[in-house]
Structure 1
Amino acid sequence: MRHKKSGRKFNRSASHRKAMLRNMVRSLLTYEHIRTTEPKAKELRSSCEKLITLALRNDLHSRRLAYKTLENHGLVKRLFDEIGPRYEGGGGGYTRIIKLAEPRKGDCAPMCIIELTKRAEAPAEEAAATTEAPAEEAQEA
């Protein structure tokens, strides 16, 4: 019986499963939203939320633990300097899973989008805001 056994196996070896989840965590923290299957998203949620909780502690040991999973200094820096501070004062719930209506073609797997709840402002919006400000000043002058 499988009582009290947590985690999904995904019909993969332990090393393949670990590599898959690491890659998905890296993608989620880089792009802040990814499209995947529901079971993978549910497993990814726990891994990602643990890393964001480490980022809230923001000490050297937490950085080293995060690097152990991410294996990318730039991504660890982004996690602790940009993503972590967004969630200060909150108590979990750093990710959101949105189920998609259309299953994946080929095997009809249920698909979803997993994203960070507090996403960064889009660079296009920031660029538009900066270009509008000088134009308004020019009209006033």
Structure 2
Amino acid sequence: MRHNKKFNHLGRTADHRRALLANLAISLIMHKRITTTLAKAKALKKYVEPLVTRAKNDSTNSRRVVFSYLQNKEAIKELFGPIADKVGDRPGGYTRIIKLGSRLGDAASMAFIELVDFDDNMAKTPKADKKTRRSRRSGKKADAAETPVAEVEATEAPAEEAKAE
């Protein structure tokens, strides 16, 4: 039975697993998106989200706690700098896992994990209104006929204002 076994050991000893997750977390922080197996991505999500939450409060103690997990000064600077600025108002859910399919060599299920606020493709931006092309020729002639009339009226308006003065 599988009672009280809450996390995936990833087939590694505790020290090996801790080093693996720390290296994956550093890569995720530095590159904003990494490709790995689905099991490692799920384990990394549980590992890195508390660190990002900790980075929202930039204090000496927070930096020391995060450094004890990562052991990389450049990753700490990146985490407490641009990443903490972007996720400051987000209440959680800093990472996204997207499944990619199976790896050819061993059929392991692959996924990429990314920081949510740093993905430009998934960002919610207002879509530009698309202009539909008209297929009727009468619509084009009507538009072409209206433009010269508007220009003529615009040129006559200043002349009338000059006479009124």
Under TM normalisation by the shorter chain, which class is it?
0.7 to 0.9
Aligned counterpart, 2:24: 24
Give 2:42's aligned residue. 42
Any stretches of 5+ residues in structure 2 without a counterpart? Answer: 121-165
- Structure 2: distance between partners of 1:8 and 1:120: 27
How far the C-alpha of 1:18 sits from its partner, in A, is 0.8
Residues 61-140 of structure 1 correspond to what in structure 2 (within 5 A)?
61-101=61-101, 103-119=102-118
Query: For residue 110 of structure 2, what is the amino acid of its counterpart?
Result: M
Letter of the structure 2 residue corresponding to residue 106 of structure 1: G
Report the TM-score, using the length of structure 1 for normalisation: 0.80
Q: Name the structure 1 match of 2:145.
A: none
- Give the 3-state SS of the residue equivalent to 1:15 in structure 2: helix
Distance 2:117 2:80 in 1: 15
| Counterpart for residue 138 of structure 1 | none
- TM-superposed deviation, 1:68: 0.6
Structure 2 length-normalised TM: 0.69
Shift in Å at residue 120 of structure 1?
A: 7.2
Shift of 1:11: 1.2
Secondary structure, counterpart of 1:93 in structure 2: coil
The SS at the match of 2:46 is helix
Q: Which residue number in structure 1 is paired with residue 15 of structure 2?
A: 15
Q: Quote how far apart the aligned CAs of 1:62 are.
A: 0.6
Letter in 2 for 1:90: R
Number of aligned positions between the proteins: 120
Greater gyration radius? 2
Q: Could you say which residue in structure 2 is the equivalent of 1:124?
A: none
> In the alignment, which residue of structure 1 is the partner of 2:124?
none
Separation of aligned partners in 2, 1:57 and 1:2: 37
CA distance in 1, matches of 2:10, 2:103: 17
Deviation for aligned residue 1:111: 0.3
List structure 1 runs of 4+ shifted beyond 6 angstroms.
Answer: none
RMSD: 1.3
CA distance in 1, matches of 2:5, 2:70: 25
With a CA cutoff of 8 Å and minimum separation of 6, indicate the structure with the bigger relative contact order. 1
**Identical aligned pairs, as a percentage?**
42
